[in-house]
Structure 1
């Protein structure tokens, strides 16, 4: 297993913004989890329908979910390409 870590030693974090009952979110989750397991990246999921979700981000992302972020920077939306995500994680790890 390759482990991608940032210069400070902390793992890269992939965030999946989605909502319950979203089939594209389910597909994206599977890709994100597989790539994270291969690379050692952390994964967090955010529910865009949660009451405490940032209203500005909700307005920005609502039409594009699922949205993926790598270390807080927008990576992709709707579909997640595994190879493209691997490359983004590697780039984030290098700083």
Structure 2
């Protein structure tokens, strides 16, 4: 696989959700990602005495995304609407 790029896609989320279901699904996903970066930062600080700057930045971005999504879900709930959610994961394998 030398000098080749291999890209694969996977459907992670696909469906129509009531606002309460969308909240549970999306907030759990985002919280898990935030927790991942927090653990990674903690580990780096314990082992090397330095902050995982990229991870801390990503936590801030995820928190903003969480707030934005909460607002959209609240809007949908107030209007009696459902939410269509599609989320794909794309993984590219590249040589080191």
Higher relative contact order (CA 8 A, sep 6+): 2
| Rg larger for | 2
Tell whether the structures are fold-level matches, with TM greater than 0.5.
no
Which of the pair is proportionally richer in helix? 2
